[in-house]
Structure formats: structure tokens, C-alpha cells
């Protein structure tokens, strides 16, 4: 397994899974993460997002290792897009007792054969994993109406789907809008990267991946994010496509400044 495809233990019971896809930037190979996170409690386990279908064998191998013979109990795709939910058929077949949880209102349109395994969970509802709790949260920054975020009380980790992704000091891909990193920076925490991202780099991913943020003032959304951070102790933020953030306060300010720039039209 290449370095890009090695799982990483973020904290006790939280595994960073998935892999990187390769994008083409001028003169240089760059990566972006398509991540999934496994949270394992004393009683139950939950997989947050499924990883990209290109990585299905990788994700299954990582899951087998991390679960150590235990079943996978819950799968929580943050929203029904390919990099987040695309491995559902393979995972539901591989783990026959696993239930799909979240805002699953339209999942049976994609997978009618699994209708009895979709369990609706709204923001505010919790799952007891045994010694830790997984809470479903409103996605304050989202691209689909039925996106949800999540929170693991055991590690104090917030899972933010397509929110809080950013690029680093690498050339931007010509026709891509993914938050890229260099080969060798896979699965690094934000605090381990050579330099923190600038506001401009955070704005690059924000303005293109979440196009609506050009038209909507996101300051109220960030106030809600801040209220969530005050109510729940957050040590780590896990985006689906960026590096895991361990400098939570610093990144929140950078990301808010980036969204302000996009909204004010200084970055297109």
C-alpha cells in the first residue's frame, strides 16, 4: 500500500481512512484527499463518508485492519455524492449488518434494494457507540440540502464534509477546484504542514467548490460554527478533502476571512 493509502490513527478510536486522487497542476503532480473516518466505540463503530469508488479495495483493507474482526455497525455518508456515498453498495455487501444513517431522504432512489437499511437521523440526534457518543449536526457550510456534519465526543472531532478544505503552498490545478497537497503531505495534520495556508489559499477552494458562497454572506454561518465549537470541545476538524485540522482556532479565522474575501468579490 502506498503512503497515500495508509490509514492514520488520529486519536484513540478515530482512524483516518481513504486515499488520494492525483490532479495535474502546471509542472507538478498534486494530490487531493478523498477521506473517510472510522470511529470505534466499546459497543459500536461508525464510518463517516465512504471514500471514492476508485479506492474501494483500499478502504475495505483499511477497515478490516482498523476493525480487527469487529463488524461495521453504521455508515454515515455526509451527503449523496460519489466521493462521499459512492462506496455504499460495496460496503453494504461486505458488512451485511451495517446500517446507513444520516439525512437519507433520497438514498432509496439510488439504491432501492437497500431501503430497509437506511435509518434517518436528524441534526441533534445521537448514537451511543459505547463510551463515546456520535452526534449528527447541521452542516453550516454545505453543497447539498441534505448534507449533515457529525461530532465524536470521544476524540472531540468534528466531521465537516466539504467544509474547511483549503489548498497549501502548491500550484493550483488548471481546471480543478480541489484542495490539493503535495505528494509526501498525505495524511498530515494542518499543524504538521510546512506552512499554514494563507487566506488566499483557503479562498481558492472555497470560492470554487462552494460556489454559492460568492452570493451569500457566510458570517452568520460562521457564528453558528463558533457556537458549536463553544458548546462542544473540538480538538480536531476532519474535512473530506483537506488535511485534518489540529489548529482549530487558527483555521476557523483563516477560513472565515477566506469566505469574506469570496463574498466581497475579491477572489473569483
- List residues binding Zn ion (CB under 5 A): 4, 20, 31, 83, 162, 186, 240
Beta carbon nearer to Zn ion, 52 or 73: 52
Beta carbon nearer to Zn ion, 17 or 240: 240
CB of 217 to Zn ion, least distance (A): 23
**Shortest CA distance to 261 belongs to which of 202, 212, 209?**
202
Q: Which three cell numbers stand for residue 43?
A: 459497543
Q: What does the DSSP assignment read for 129-193?
A: -SSSEEEEEE-SS-SSTT-EEEEETTTTEEE-TTTT----SSPPPTT--S--B-TT-TT-BGGGS
CB of 87 to Zn ion, least distance (A): 13
Beta carbon nearer to Zn ion, 38 or 40: 38
Judge contact between 9 and 65, C-beta under 8 A. no
CB of 83 to Zn ion, least distance (A): 5
Task: Write the Ramachandran bin of 178: left for phi over 0, alpha for psi from -120 to 50, otherwise beta.
Answer: beta
Beta carbon nearer to Zn ion, 129 or 182: 182
CB of 51 to Zn ion, least distance (A): 11
Beta carbon nearer to Zn ion, 15 or 31: 31
Angle at 153 between CA 40 and CA 257, to 5 degrees: 115
CB of 239 to Zn ion, least distance (A): 9
Q: Which three cell numbers stand for residue 208?
A: 470554487
CB of 259 to Zn ion, least distance (A): 17
Beta carbon nearer to Zn ion, 31 or 132: 31
Alpha carbon of residue 13 to chain centroid: 17
Beta carbon nearer to Zn ion, 90 or 183: 183
Q: How far, in Å, CA of 97 to CA of 130, rounded?
A: 18
Angle at 87 between CA 86 and CA 92, to 5 degrees: 130
CB of 265 to Zn ion, least distance (A): 25
**Shortest CA distance to 143 belongs to which of 185, 117, 191, 177?**
177
Amino acid at each position: 500500500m502506498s503512503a497515500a493509502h495508509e490509514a492514520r490513527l488520529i486519536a484513540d478510536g478515530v482512524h483516518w481512512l481513504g486515499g488520494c486522487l492525483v490532479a495535474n497542476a502546471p509542472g507538478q503532480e498534486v494530490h487531493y484527499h478523498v477521506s473517510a473516518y472510522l470511529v470505534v466505540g466499546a459497543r459500536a463503530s461508525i464510518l463517516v463518508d465512504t471514500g471514492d469508488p476508485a479506492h474501494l479495495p483500499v478502504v475495505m483493507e483499511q477497515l478490516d485492519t482498523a476493525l480487527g474482526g469487529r463488524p461495521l455497525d453504521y455508515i454515515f455518508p455526509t451527503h449523496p455524492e460519489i466521493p462521499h456515498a459512492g462506496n455504499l453498495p460495496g460496503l453494504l455487501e461486505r458488512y451485511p449488518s451495517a446500517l446507513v444513517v444520516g439525512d437519507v431522504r433520497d438514498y432509496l432512489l439510488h439504491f432501492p434494494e437497500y431501503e430497509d437499511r437506511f435509518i434517518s437521523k436528524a441534526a441533534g440526534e445521537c448514537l451511543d457507540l459505547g463510551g463515546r457518543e456520535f452526534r449528527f449536526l447541521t452542516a453550516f457550510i454545505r453543497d447539498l440540502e441534505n448534507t449533515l456534519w457529525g461530532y465524536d465526543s470521544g476524540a472531540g472531532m468534528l466531521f465537516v464534509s466539504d467544509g474547511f478544505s483549503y489548498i497549501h503552498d502548491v500550484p493550483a490545478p488548471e481546471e480543478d477546484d480541489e484542495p490539493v497537497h503535495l505528494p509526501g503531505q498525505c495524511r498530515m495534520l494542518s499543524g504538521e504542514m510546512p506552512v499554514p495556508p494563507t487566506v488566499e489559499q483557503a479562498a481558492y477552494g472555497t470560492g470554487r467548490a462552494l460556489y454559492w458562497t460568492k452570493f451569500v454572506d457566510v458570517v452568520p454561518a460562521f457564528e453558528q460554527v463558533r457556537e458549536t465549537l463553544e458548546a462542544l470541545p473540538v480538538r480536531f476538524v476532519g474535512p473530506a478533502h483537506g488535511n485534518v485540522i489540529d489548529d482549530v482556532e487558527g483555521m476557523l479565522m483563516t477560513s472565515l476571512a477566506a469566505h469574506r474575501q469570496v463574498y466581497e468579490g475579491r477572489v473569483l
